[in-house]
């Protein structure tokens, strides 16, 4: 039984570890499509049935590729339920590049849900694993993301360093559009620090890349940076205004965004046209980002001062200063060490929460295990008691039979002493009975201290004595045959008489054969007792089946005996096995 259970568990384990070949093929296809054909890669992954992936590695690969495909198609996730199992698996078993990618895309999810501290930690882990000679598209993406994180924490020098490294790697991979975006972010970073030559260098690189990419959808972003370059570096406000208005009219369909409204307003202000500047600045929605509100208030204060309304200009200036202070404290700068410490603190708090939940269920788990073990113990003990009870019952039965044999032996001894007038032939038969009963008692003397069945002991004695020519008793009857009838009568008193009453056509030899088959004696032992050949034995058995009217071929003589004995006991109101 234990081997069968082990084989079943092994089969289930192997079945659970086998992934569908079709799904694995789709995973390989999606991996080759990911960087050059992101839409096709996402479609391929969506055709995969995740329930057919059973191994942890295949599940982790699917989760990582799906997260990459969504990110490459600008579909931003804010839940880490998909990437978390992949990150946990690759953290222990993955290659360095697999760990790098899992950290990066987990960081992307944290960035999308504005958990910038966690995003910075994950990007930093990915950067720490990057080898110097790695040629993989993930490397510049990690540096660009770190640049954004440092910029959000006002570490401008570090942000510029990471962006420059990202731009260098993008250019090496011929990812010109990504390099263009990176140079634009560098221009935004350096705008307020005014290192003119560096700013112009970034502008010239971005201008060349824009001409090389030739993507008209990027013109709105290009126009904004170009306008700021004209305003801040060349002081050509009129050309900047024309570029901005042309972009709004032809590329934004007249729907100017907040940054365009502010830039146009600033250009009009620099051209000494405060009325036009006020017109555009008042179009900006009130409920917008704090940074946009701060810029708007600062410009409005200058516009009203240019219009001569110094009181209103002063009010806007004060509001801008108060908002600037609140933004400063809201965006308080943190060192990388502080960010790491905060992340570690939150991680430990989460671990403590998990431990509390485990402790909450620990008592129920312990009670369940204790109850299961107790029930198994009681079941096993009841089975042992049942087996012991059955064995003790059989021992009691056979001890009773042995006591009867003992009395028969004593009677034979008494007869041997009292019948001195017997003929030599009668004396020889009596001596044989006496010898056989003595050997039988010696054979069964230790019964109850051995696991060997009682009838097997008797059968061994019969087989051993078969080497001697056992003579038959009175009327050709074997001297052992009455013994089997005695055994059946000892176990089922009156059953032989009931059998003869039901089947009166049975002969004495057939009743003896019936009793021996019922007691599970082998064909060899029965042939020895009946002094017949195996062929004659089968003839006797078939005749017996006919007289017992056993029409069902599947019903054995032993089964017929058990049914007859059960019916007999029920009719007599007796109990027994």
Question: Nearest-CA neighbor of 160 among 186, 197, 193?
Answer: 186
Ramachandran bin of 473, using left for φ above 0, alpha for ψ from -120 to 50, beta for the remaining angles: beta
Three-state DSSP class for residue 47: coil
Of residues 160 and 289, more confidence is placed in 160
Check pLDDT > 80 for residue 94.
yes
Please name every residue paired with 478 in a beta bridge, in sequence order, or none if there are none. Answer: 472
Report pLDDT digits (tens) over 528-558.
777 778 888 888 888 888 888 887 777 888 8
What is the rounded CA–CA span in Å between residue 162 and residue 369? 55
Other C-beta atoms closer than 10 Å to the C-beta of 88 total 13
Check pLDDT > 50 for residue 15.
no
Contact 476, 509 (CB under 8 A): no
Contact 159, 151 (CB under 8 A): yes
Check pLDDT > 50 for residue 562.
yes
Report the pLDDT averaged over residues 253-277.
86
Give residue 394's pLDDT: 63
Check pLDDT > 70 for residue 422.
no
What is the rounded CA–CA span in Å between residue 505 and residue 215? 111
What is the rounded CA–CA span in Å between residue 127 and residue 138? 10
Taking every pair of C-alpha atoms in the chain, what is the biggest distance, in angstroms?
Answer: 163
Check pLDDT > 60 for residue 259.
yes
- Band of pLDDT at residue 144, cut at 50, 70 and 90: very high
Give residue 467's pLDDT: 43
Give residue 16's pLDDT: 45
Cα 165 off chain centre by: 42
Please name every residue paired with 472 in a beta bridge, in sequence order, or none if there are none. Answer: 478
Give residue 403's pLDDT: 66
- List, in order, residues 6 or more apart from 574 with CB less than 8 Å away: 568
Give residue 439's pLDDT: 67
Give residue 9's pLDDT: 45
Of residues 13 and 493, more confidence is placed in 493
Give residue 537's pLDDT: 86
Three-state DSSP class for residue 67: helix
Question: Nearest-CA neighbor of 255 among 213, 231, 220?
Answer: 220
What is the rounded CA–CA span in Å between residue 406 and residue 416? 15
Check pLDDT > 60 for residue 471.
no
- List, in order, residues 6 or more apart from 71 with CB less than 8 Å away: 77, 105, 108
Of residues 328 and 25, more confidence is placed in 25
Report pLDDT digits (tens) over 222-236.
888 888 888 877 888
Q: What share of the chain is helix, strand, coil (3-state, %, to 5)?
A: 75, 0, 25
Contact 565, 492 (CB under 8 A): yes
Contact 506, 496 (CB under 8 A): no
What is the rounded CA–CA span in Å between residue 21 and residue 36? 24
Share of the chain above pLDDT 70, in %: 73
DSSP letter at 154 equals: T
Sign of CA dihedral 195, 200, 206, 210: positive
Report the pLDDT averaged over residues 188-206.
77
Give residue 225's pLDDT: 82
Mind listing the domains of the chain with CATH numbers? 235-333 (1.25.40), 453-577 (no CATH)
Give residue 342's pLDDT: 65
Report the pLDDT averaged over residues 301-314.
87
Report the pLDDT averaged over residues 107-131.
86
- Band of pLDDT at residue 78, cut at 50, 70 and 90: confident
Token pair for residue 177? Answer: 């559009």
Check pLDDT > 50 for residue 279.
yes
Ramachandran bin of 114, using left for φ above 0, alpha for ψ from -120 to 50, beta for the remaining angles: left
Report pLDDT digits (tens) over 371-399.
889 899 899 888 888 888 777 766 665 56
DSSP letter at 288 equals: S
Share of the chain above pLDDT 90, in %: 2
Give residue 407's pLDDT: 66
What are the backbone angles phi and psi of residue 445, rounded to the nearest 5°?
-65, -35
Give residue 13's pLDDT: 43
- Band of pLDDT at residue 575, cut at 50, 70 and 90: very low
Of residues 73 and 451, more confidence is placed in 73
What is the rounded CA–CA span in Å between residue 300 and residue 434? 134
Q: What is the mean pLDDT of the chain?
A: 77
Report pLDDT digits (tens) over 437-446.
666 666 655 5
- Band of pLDDT at residue 269, cut at 50, 70 and 90: confident
Give residue 457's pLDDT: 61
Token pair for residue 92? Answer: 């222990």
Classify burial at 476, counting beta carbons within 10 Å of its beta carbon; exposed 0-12, middle 13-18, buried 19 or more: exposed
Other C-beta atoms closer than 10 Å to the C-beta of 159 total 22
Pinpoint the alpha helices (H) of 472-533: 481-491, 495-502, 508-518, 523-530
Of residues 454 and 441, more confidence is placed in 441
Check pLDDT > 50 for residue 470.
no
Of residues 437 and 349, more confidence is placed in 349
Cα 497 off chain centre by: 67
What are the backbone angles phi and psi of residue 444, rounded to the nearest 5°?
-95, 10
DSSP letter at 51 equals: G
Question: Nearest-CA neighbor of 303 among 336, 283, 331, 275?
Answer: 275
Of residues 265 and 345, more confidence is placed in 265
Of residues 439 and 54, more confidence is placed in 54
Give residue 14's pLDDT: 43
Contact 435, 409 (CB under 8 A): no
Give residue 479's pLDDT: 58
Report pLDDT digits (tens) over 473-503.
444 455 566 667 777 776 778 888 888 888 8
What is the rounded CA–CA span in Å between residue 339 and residue 373? 49
Token pair for residue 103? Answer: 């950290």
């Amino acid at each position: 039984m234990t081997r069968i259970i082990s084989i079943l568990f092994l089969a289930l384990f192997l079945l659970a570890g086998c992934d569908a070949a079709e799904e694995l093929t789709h995973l390989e296809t999606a991996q080759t499509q990911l960087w050059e054909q992101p839409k096709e890669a996402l479609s391929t992954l969506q055709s995969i049935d995740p329930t057919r992936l059973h191994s942890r590695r295949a599940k982790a690969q699917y989760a990582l590729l799906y997260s990459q495909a969504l990110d490459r198609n600008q579909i931003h996730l804010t839940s880490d339920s998909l990437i978390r199992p992949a990150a946990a698996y690759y953290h222990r078993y993955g290659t360095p590049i697999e760990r790098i990618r899992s950290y990066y895309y987990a960081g992307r999810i944290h960035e999308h849900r504005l958990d910038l501290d966690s995003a910075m930690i994950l990007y930093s882990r990915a950067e720490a694993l990057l080898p110097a000679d790695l040629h993989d598209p993930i490397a510049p993406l990690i540096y660009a993301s770190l640049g954004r994180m440092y910029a959000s924490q006002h570490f401008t020098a570090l942000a510029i360093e990471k962006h420059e490294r990202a731009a260098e790697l993008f250019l090496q991979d011929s990812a010109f559009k990504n390099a263009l975006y990176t140079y634009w972010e560098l221009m935004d970073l350096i705008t307020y620090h005014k290192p003119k030559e560096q700013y112009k260098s970034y502008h010239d690189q971005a201008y060349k890349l824009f001409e090389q990419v030739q993507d008209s959808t990027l013109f709105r972003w290009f126009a904004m940076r170009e306008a700021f370059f004209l305003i801040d570096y060349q002081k050509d406000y009129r050309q900047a205004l024309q570029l901005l208005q042309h972009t709004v009219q032809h590329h934004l369909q007249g729907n100017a965004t907040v940054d365009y409204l502010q830039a146009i307003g600033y250009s009009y202000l620099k051209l000494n046209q405060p009325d036009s500047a006020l017109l555009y600045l008042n179009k900006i929605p009130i409920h917008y980002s704090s940074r946009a509100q701060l810029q708007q208030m600062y410009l409005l204060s200058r516009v009203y001062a240019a219009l001569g309304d110094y009181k209103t200009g002063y009010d806007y200036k004060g509001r801008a200063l108060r908002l600037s202070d609140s933004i400063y404290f809201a965006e308080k700068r943190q060192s990388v060490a502080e960010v790491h410490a905060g992340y570690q603190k939150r991680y430990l708090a989460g671990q403590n929460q998990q431990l509390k939940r485990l402790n909450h269920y620990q008592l129920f788990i312990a009670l369940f295990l204790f109850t299961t073990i107790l029930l198994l113990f009681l079941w096993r003990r009841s089975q042992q008691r049942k087996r012991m009870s059955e064995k003790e019952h059989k021992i009691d039965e056979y001890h009773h039979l042995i006591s009867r044999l003992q009395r028969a032996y004593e009677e034979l001894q008494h007869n041997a002493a009292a019948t001195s007038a017997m003929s030599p032939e009668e004396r020889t038969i009596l001596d044989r009975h006496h010898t056989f009963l003595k050997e039988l008692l010696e054979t069964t003397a230790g019964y109850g201290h051995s696991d060997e069945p009682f009838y097997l002991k008797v059968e061994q004695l019969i087989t051993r004595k078969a080497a001697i020519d056992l003579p038959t008793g009175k009327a050709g009857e074997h001297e052992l045959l009455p013994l089997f009838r005695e055994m059946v009568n000892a176990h089922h008193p009156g059953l032989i008489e009931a059998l003869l009453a039901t089947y009166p056509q049975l002969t004495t030899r057939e009743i003896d054969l019936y009793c021996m088959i019922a007691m599970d004696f082998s064909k060899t032992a029965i042939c020895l007792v009946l002094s017949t050949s195996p062929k004659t034995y089968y003839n006797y058995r078939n005749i017996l089946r006919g007289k017992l009217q056993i029409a069902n071929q599947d019903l054995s003589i032993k089964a017929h005996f058990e049914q007859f004995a059960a019916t007999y006991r029920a009719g007599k109101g007796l109990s027994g096995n």
